[in-house]
Amino acid sequence: MNDLVFPLTDLRKKTPTWTPAAVPGADQGRLVDTRGRVMSDLRISVTDRCNFRCTYCMPKTVFGRDYPFLPHGDLLSFEEIFRIARLFVESGVSKIRLTGGEPLLRRNIEKLVEMLATLPGVELTLTTNGSLLKKKAQALRDAGLKRVTVSLDALDDETFRKMNDVDFPVAQVLEGLAVATAAGLAPIKVNMVVKRGTNDHAILPMARHFRSSGHILRFIEYMDVGSSNGWKLDEVLPSAEVVSLINAEMPLEAIGANYPGEVAQRWRYREGGGEIGVISSVTQAFCSSCTRARLSTEGKLYTCLFAQSGHDLRAQLRAGNSDQEIAAALGAIWGARTDNYSEIRTAETAKQQKIEMSYIGG
């Protein structure tokens, strides 16, 4: 078991229309922030709406049925999203993930996927709650989507229905996974947010079910994203405990990252059957290697999941700014980036007003 122990951090404590080298913060065509972190990953939220009301993301107590989501005119059009995404790719981004809310609720999302799939050298993925995946998977694959990540917080209906808070059954998510697999959206990652006292009993059943499935199961520590989920530190189950729990029944061994900046620590089953991952934003901050930029539904750029404010790119688009002007803005924003929230998280910072996960994506 000694090899499973890892330290926990102290919780207190098309042709380019511009020249990358001319952009502030650029290093040989790639954008670098104040801590030497290279931007390579763009997450695009295509809608702030969701058909679930997960307690850790969009709780009913705040996001009821009549919650005033953004009007359609405020959302970036597909053409606007594509233009910004192209400029990000020209700035060095090599991975784009579509998120929400629930991205499959955005009408004609397949058209956006088809557009983005034309960008050279880009891995295009999407995160979904799986509720519409059975219906959409083949069309998404045909449009050029490479992979999907599916959120699933338990296998037993009682727990899952309680967490999604709209009485949605597990079986329909599993059906969506099967269809997505058959369509070739693989390897599929399955994300489970672990909340102590709520669904921690579901860890082993999830590990048993997805071992040898070809899917990669990842356990995510419950985070203080946004200000609506009532986050408490004592509801966080450290990833170290998750790994130890699984290892006791199904021995694990650590494996290296797939690429620089990968947030999940990877473990494989010693006797075969695939791998798991753990994402430990609370107990093992990975701010120092974070390469992600986030674009909100209405066109604001956020440089951290825990940010309190963003930078309005929609205004520049709709004011008629040139590609070079917008690219320069991207470089200046990323070049000034200093974010390290998870390294300085305290009980007090957790109370700060922050952008909601449902608005910016996970």
Cα distances (Å, whole numbers) of residue 111 to 108, 141, 180, 216, 314 = 6, 12, 18, 28, 20
List residues bridging with 278 in a β-sheet. 219, 265
pLDDT in tens, the chain (362 residues): 333 433 333 333 332 323 333 344 444 568 999 999 999 999 999 999 999 999 888 888 888 877 889 998 999 999 999 999 999 999 999 999 999 999 999 999 999 999 999 999 999 999 999 999 999 999 999 999 999 999 999 999 999 999 999 999 999 999 999 999 999 999 999 999 999 999 999 999 999 999 999 999 999 999 878 777 788 888 999 999 999 999 999 999 999 988 877 889 999 999 999 999 999 989 998 899 999 999 999 999 999 988 888 999 999 999 999 999 999 999 999 999 999 878 777 777 767 777 887 778 76
In this prediction the pTM is 0.89
Residue keyed to tokens 């200093």:
338
Residue 271: Cβ-neighbour burial (10 angstroms; 0-12, 13-18, 19+): exposed
Q: What is the pLDDT of residues 22-48, one digit of tens each?
A: 344 444 568 999 999 999 999 999 999
Tokens of 14: 């098309």
Give the contacts of 355 (CB within 8 A, at least 6 positions apart). Answer: 225, 226, 296, 302, 305, 306, 307, 308, 309, 310
Secondary structure of the chain as H, E, C letters: CHHHCCCCCCCCCCCCCCCHHHCCCEECCEEECCCCCECCEEEEECCCCCCCCCCCCCCCCCCCCCCCCCCHHHCCCHHHHHHHHHHHHHCCCCEEEEECCCHHHCCCHHHHHHHHCCCCCCEEEEEECCCCHHHHHHHHHHHCCCEEEEECCCCCHHHHHHHHCCCCCHHHHHHHHHHHHHHCCCCCEEEEEEECCCCHHHHHHHHHHHCCCCCEEEEEECCCCCCCCCCCHHHECCHHHHHHHHHHHCCEEEECCCCCCCCCEEEEECCCCCEEEEECCCCCCCHHHCCEEEECCCCEEECCCCCCCCEECHHHHHCCCCHHHHHHHHHHHHHCCCCCHHHHCCCCHHHCCCCCHHHHCC
- The domain 2-360: what is its CATH number? 3.20.20.70
Tokens of 251: 């021995």
Q: What is the pLDDT of residues 70-104, one digit of tens each?
A: 998 999 999 999 999 999 999 999 999 999 999 99
C-alpha to C-alpha distance for 174 and 186, rounded to whole angstroms: 15
